[in-house]
Amino acid sequence: MQTVTLNNGVKMPILGFGVYQVPDAEECENAVYEALMAGYRLIDTASGYLNEEAVGRAIKRSGIPREELFITTKLWVQDASYESAKVAFAKSLKKLNLDYLDLYLIHQPFGDYYGAWRAMEDLYREGKIRAIGVSNFLPDRLMDLIVHNEIVPAVNQVETHPFYQQLESAAFMKEQGVQHQSWAPFAEGLNNLFGNEVLSIIAMKYNKSVAQVVLRWLIQKNIVAIPKSVRKERIVENFDIFNFELHQEDMEQITDLDTGKSLFISYHDPELAKKMGNWKFDY
């Protein structure tokens, strides 16, 4: 598996498996198990996905040595404070049935994420987490966090796909030594991604699927991707991207698809902060 090296020296697989919107326990467990059997070693979940226990069962069922895996989960807004973050971390670790995490992320840039970050710094120093990072942080909030804390986030997981490439944010993250990770690499199928003419022509050129082309494009840009599927054939297909390379002209054609706008939410919208602040989960 191809890896990226985080700013603390930890190696992270460049391709992983995500489980967002897979709340059904049996379906989630089976999907993660099939992903692990297909060769994935990075599994990405979150407390807010309500499926950490299913992920934990799949990990145990796989029989893969723990040191070969890279497991990520995330802290939700309702737990964004110093004390609550430590309690939430312990809950996640127990649900996953693990002794440590490879990566722990602040899921949203809202609430007392400063307090949460300092708790995560403590857990990192104690060896309970191999790397700590954030998700959905715009450059201004990311820089603010970097300036006022000791540990620079190792990862920032943000919406990234052909229609929203985060070019300015990507350049900023690279400058700060923060690894760019993509959520929704397929844009959840919006804008007719799988039927896009440019992507379809490139896919035919390499005898690959549009999904494979998108994932290959991301990893050639050194962006970690975590595609999701509950279908075994798609899970296997999405992993089969290490036997070809996109030419520069194809990379540039995909770059031209960028709209510079999110297809989902705006982190500049105060209503989003209000919504996230009131969005609580019973876990």
Q: Which residues are catalytic?
A: 49
- Reading the block at residue 207, the tokens are 């005898």
- Cβ 36 vs Cβ 16: under 8 Å: no
Nearest to 208 by CA among 242, 184, 180: 242
- Cβ 16 vs Cβ 224: under 8 Å: yes
Q: For residue 280, give Cα distances in angstroms to 49, 56, 78, 100.
A: 12, 23, 6, 25
- Cβ 260 vs Cβ 164: under 8 Å: yes
- Cβ 148 vs Cβ 156: under 8 Å: no
Listing DSSP states for 87-124 in one string gives HHHHHHHHHHT-S-BSEEEE-SS-SSHHHHHHHHHHHH
